[in-house]
Amino acid sequence: MAAMRDVVFVDGVRTPFGRAGEKGMYASTRSDDLAVKALQGLLERNPGLDPARIDDVGIAATTQQGDQGLTLGRTVSMLAGIPNTVPGFALDRMCAGALTVASFMGAAIGSGQYDVAIAGGVEHMGRHPLGLDADPNPRFVAEKLVSPEALNMGLTAERLHDRFPQLTKERADRFGMLSQQKVQAAYDRGDIQHDLVPVALRSPQGWGLATEDEGRRPTTTMEGLASLKTPFRPHGRVTAGTSSPLTDGATMSLLAGADTAKEMGLSAKMRLVGFAFAGVAPEVMGLGPVPSTEKALKRAGLTIDDIGLFELNEAFAVQVLSFTDHFGIADDDPRVNPWGGAIALGHPLAATGVRLMIQLARQFAERPDVRYGVTAMCVGLGQGGTAIWENPHFDGKKRK
């Protein structure tokens, strides 16, 4: 059996994320067109890549219907101009769709079955709300396999507050406020914009151009957050200010064998160390990244102390805090989401995994003192996914 080869994250881009719904900037934009635009942007940024050399295109979506159906990996790649000799597929693991595609493409590359692959995700939650037309099997409730509350992500977040009383609403509010502030600070430094692919917009007022994430609220205050309603249950602790908003957007990434990337003159922004997925009780969905991270670390022969940067999806503030508390990480630890996260940027479900990778790769370039980073997220119906990455710029010198 041949030895496993190194797998590298070459590049990643995304569209600006928009608010879902009739007033959102992508209300008149097709879901597959968002994915096409992101894929074209990725190809344009990497002219050394011969599209005919791509072995597969995988694009994740959670609600696969209408303009978000029809095996997106195949249809989007053809619309983006990739030769029809290149195959494609679609995948659904809800929030971890793109993370799953990237992980499995990495496994295929590492085992020598592929040389180059595209992994991405798209979600137009304005057109395709989570669970639209889904028909859960009645046995789930009738046989008490799953609580009905498990199908409502907000209620699973409320259950984390119930299970861990130390995860107070005040801590969650503060985390949400800091996410907004960190995202705006990253925008002010120009850290985010480099990887955004502008998207042409059509509205009754005419044509426009999406160049920034739409949902940011940098003026968020603790006082304002304290006054928000708790929509998931009376006297709850989860609010819009501590939840990721409904979002439209697409992400794309390019993965390759390290040897193939070198042959094509493509840079390596990260090396894939390993990945893992795990399940938990659906009622406490947000705990999923804890066992998936423990599993990934064990397989890699690493500990949590080896991780210098964490890109954790902020589905809910309490969900991230349950992860950091478990591993003994402070709420304001600078290793965690240094540029903010989904509470401010948005969470277009299946697309988010690659957004985490994009930000981690950009931070690696600025932090040669950090060797390992993690991208992790919870997944609907009680799952978690984690990928561990190595920084190719690591120089072993401690940062002042």
Among the listed residues 178, 182, 172, 320, the one whose alpha carbon sits nearest the alpha carbon of residue 232: 172
Instruction: Look up residue 114 and give its two tokens.
Output: 């592929």
- Catalytic residue chosen out of the listed positions 95, 124, 128, 161: 95
Q: Would residue 326 show up in a list of annotated catalytic residues for this protein?
A: no
Active site residue 235: no
Rounded CA-CA distance 302/367 in Å is: 19
From 124, 128, 161, 378, the catalytic residue? 378
Number of Cβ within 10 Å of residue 191's Cβ equals 17
Can you tell me the distance from the alpha carbon of 51 to that of 253, in angstroms, rounded to the nearest whole number? Answer: 14
Any catalytic annotation for residue 347? yes
Check if the beta carbon of residue 165 is closer than 8 Å to that of residue 231.
no
> Is residue 54 within 8 Å of 116, Cβ to Cβ?
yes
Residues 87 and 74 sit within 8 Å (Cβ to Cβ): yes
Max Cα distance, the chain (Å): 61
Residue of 124, 128, 161, 347 marked active site: 347
Residue 152's nearest CA partner among 135, 132, 131 is 131
Catalytically annotated residues: 95, 347, 378
